[in-house]
Amino acid sequence: MAILLDENTKVIVQGITGKQGSFHAKSMIDYGTKVIAGVTPGKGGQEFLGLPVFDSMKEAVKETQATASVIFIPARFTYSAALEAIDSGIKLLTIITEGIPVKDTAKIKQKAIKNKVVMVGPNCPGLITPGASKIGIIPGEICSPGNVGIVSRSGTLTYEIIQNLTVNGFGQSTCVGLGGDPIKGIGFNECLKWFEEDPQTKQIILVGEIGGTGEQEAADLVKSEITKPVFAFIAGQTAPPGKQMGHAGAIVHGKSGTAQEKMRILVEAGITTVRTSSEIPIKIRESI
């Protein structure tokens, strides 16, 4: 079953005629994602990649009954595009764009929560249910269908872990890239709960980073509600205190956001925590 998306999910690409939007829309289509329309203001009525293009999300959703949208739009326009998507009635909003002002993201998130929209990102690689559908930029060729659910704050590190799992014979149910901004849509806990309820998912991998408290909150949830085996890796183990490591949200303040502190808390919660990402398939094999 997997989580969040499957082969029947109807997707609209906002910014489909732009450089990034067109490239990744084609990749999504080639993978088998049911991309059914695009939105670019001023280009409504045209066709692009064999799909109808609409001027607005309201028109696109009305005509296609799509339930998901992905945004490939410059940061300065993302706020209005995201609000338009939420107002159109979609239920899954994925924002790939990076560099969005924090105040804009906060307002988008507030509206998404109010309208019960699952918001992934911004500044994220998106999500994929291997063999069925992908939304965003995760390379489909490194994935394989299976039983391991992945939720991650990282981008390229997630690809490395997926590749290692596939090479070692462990397919994935769904992989979700949360994004690294300090304010974002869904977090670890939402995904952990969905994976816990998903009959296809048998093991869960949590990929964290220095900074923030999401991993600590996830540890509390695992102790109280998650029965499936959870494996964790924290990036930034050698990062000096006070340094930002790639993502706006990956900043350590004192001891609370260090990799060492996060790993200690995760271990205390009963989560198998590794020091290198390559250890994950080994630990999963040992647990079976």
Query: What tens digit of pLDDT does each residue of 177-216 get?
Result: 999 899 999 999 999 999 999 999 999 999 999 888 899 9
CATH of the domain at 105: 3.40.50.720
Mean pLDDT of 107-126: 98
Domain for residue 17, yes or no? yes
Residue 241: the pLDDT is 59
Which pLDDT tens digit goes with each residue over 2-38?
Answer: 999 999 999 999 999 999 999 999 999 999 999 999 9
Q: Give the total number of structural domains in the chain.
A: 2
Does residue 248 register a pLDDT over 50?
no
CATH of the domain at 273: 3.40.50.261
Domain for residue 129, yes or no? no
Q: Give yes or no: residues 280 and 149 share one domain.
A: yes
Among the options 94, 247, 249, 258, which is catalytic?
A: 247
Q: Give yes or no: residues 75 and 184 share one domain.
A: no
What is the Cα–Cα distance from 24 to 121, expressed in whole angstroms?
A: 16
Residue 96: domain span: 10-120
Q: Give yes or no: residues 143 and 92 share one domain.
A: no
Q: Give yes or no: residues 109 and 187 share one domain.
A: no
Higher pLDDT: 246 or 261? It is 261
Q: Give yes or no: residues 168 and 262 share one domain.
A: yes
Residue 240: the pLDDT is 61
Residue 256: the pLDDT is 57
What is the Cα–Cα distance from 184 to 133, expressed in whole angstroms?
A: 23
Which pLDDT tens digit goes with each residue over 53-97?
Answer: 999 999 999 999 999 999 999 999 999 999 999 999 999 999 999
Domain boundary among 120, 147, 175: 120
Contact predicate 181/249, CB 8 Å? yes
Domain for residue 131, yes or no? no
Q: Give yes or no: residues 145 and 92 share one domain.
A: no
Q: Give yes or no: residues 150 and 283 share one domain.
A: yes
Residue 257: the pLDDT is 72
Q: Give yes or no: residues 86 and 176 share one domain.
A: no
Instruction: Say if pTM beats, i.e. exceeds, 0.85.
Output: yes
Q: Give yes or no: residues 116 and 149 share one domain.
A: no
**Strands annotated E in 55-152:** 68-71, 92-95, 118-120, 126-129, 133-136, 145-152
Q: Is residue 253 annotated as part of the catalytic site, yes or no?
A: no
Domain for residue 126, yes or no? no
Q: Give yes or no: residues 167 and 45 share one domain.
A: no
Which pLDDT tens digit goes with each residue over 131-158?
Answer: 999 999 999 999 999 999 999 998 889 9
Domain boundary among 88, 120, 152: 120
Q: Give yes or no: residues 48 and 152 share one domain.
A: no
Question: Who contacts 245 (Cβ-Cβ below 8 Å, separation ≥6)?
Answer: 209, 210, 211, 235, 236, 239, 251
pLDDT band at 252 (very low <50, low <70, confident <90, very high): very low
- Mean model confidence pLDDT for the chain: 93
DSSP states of 249-277: T-B--TTTT-HHHHHHHHHHTT-EEESSG
Residue 235: the pLDDT is 87
DSSP states of 152-186: ES-SHHHHHHHHHHHHTT--EEEEEE--SSSS-SS
Q: Give yes or no: residues 104 and 180 share one domain.
A: no
Please name which of 168, 134, 195 lies closest in space to residue 281, comparing C-alpha atoms: 168
